[in-house]
Structure 1
């Protein structure tokens, strides 16, 4: 049996009920998804029958979530990807319908993003997707087309289509061709893709970043628990402020500092301090995500285009002979560009915090954190250099105008 420990009870019940034999269960587990999801997606087990088996295996009550549901400030994309739907509060706890209530990673992400303790309930995949307002194909018969992002040894990543009887067979065929699959599925992103998409959406950018960061050669599965918490959504403001204050102080023991922080709910402290390496990785990833957010904002900022317009206005005004106005316009453009540069330097500082925070955990986790941090720094420096170049050019124009005026 190749299923993880927290899925053993479900595997036994599925076998006892005659819903799936152990060969089918092992094949489903080999694809990397929870078996409760993989067996339904492949059409091997009917969705309601699976929900009933899951309820028995986990001891969670079987529910039918109403549509639409309130997401409790948790990213809807995360809920749809992890097949979970918040149902509301009950005695101070967030009740969550889940395709697999034993999925502790998803539950941890929900607790972290909502700031509330959570209690899982069992529900069918179809019921959860209807409640969230999403729909996906449920069956994948023999000869289905599986889309996979792959990378060859020393090569760039690319997306190809493989025709196979199931996900495991698709993975085996890729390995036989000497390709490393980063994802295999009907458009469902892998962990590596989620990390990459957070930085640089788009196929070409993904391929470039895979190569730069080296995720294809890292043990990305080690980050599942930490990433689930980060991807669930932004931290509630009070928690984010508390963690920001701790990281800004640069304590030698960030995990201990968080444990002693009175501004955090007990559930958050429990998640962050449950294991030192996971806690450190959570801080590292959260800080790296902050750097990414700063870059994302800077990339979409109208500041640099505005600086270009100012430069154009300078040229027009110069020819018109309005030297004083041109000089003011050029200076204003330079200030705009320098403000962008300052924001990018803040992104570099956040990347520094990510590197500082990744002080514990095994070498593979530290390696992934370090690669992400270096990618953030590289992108920030490149954009910062562009902003500086624009500022210098505008200052030069302003100086020339001033002299001629």
Structure 2
């Protein structure tokens, strides 16, 4: 393992920011610390960097125990959200700033800067000043500066959050490409789910100072371990599961839904929650054979509202016989399908909740379920 954190705990007065978290990162891997504000992800990154002391636990980089070393001894590169470039230095001066005092000649430093600026797509920017560059270009310079020292670990602290949407999309692919080409071990901190999914090899999902799931992006999305994980990454419909005489069912209006086999048995009073993503709610088109007629969980519903999202519509569905807000279901439907079926507000239709796409969360309660109207 190239980077290891063992039982790291950090408190600020009465507030516990990190609850003895532990994880490992392979050499050349990009791992994302993902979670809502206040979950401890930035604190964890600062502990790795040596910018924040921790109360207990140990940090290893490249096999060295760096737990009590200053940042200058850890050989880490940091890219901040705010770029943090020196406005009075040229781009070349910013990139070579950390190389002074390392025994390199002026010519070697200039060559090093030129090579890195070429890698980040700014080969002609060396003599410019930060104020002459766009936000995206400044962040590229910050990345080149962080890489100039050939760091053992590259730390990216929400590096794209200050940029506009189009620049973010372009730059995240460029950063990932550069990281792979150089093979540098990287830790990315973000609250942006899409950024984490597209850039990370592995995601550590955090909540309340703890790591609640450690998985690849696709595994985290397809197999969330908790209601929190399911609701934070993407959208999820949640339905409470009830047990009556040891048989488990979930409800949508008056309809009783079949649940996955692993939930079929349990003691009366057992609590559980069932989840299904909006894109997995299938609309039944008569005569098109899209849904097998033997598939359980076919429901009669009414489109309460449609929200246009470009290629997709987010539909809010309620049970045909009338429904409270708690029984609403969201479905993502292609714009082409909406047009073909002539769907609109008030349309009556049938949907299927495929058993294979249902997620069971044993022990979860209604209170743990996120607001489904915000799906």
Give the shorter-chain TM-score range. Answer: under 0.3
**Higher helix proportion, which one?**
1
**Higher strand proportion, which one?**
2
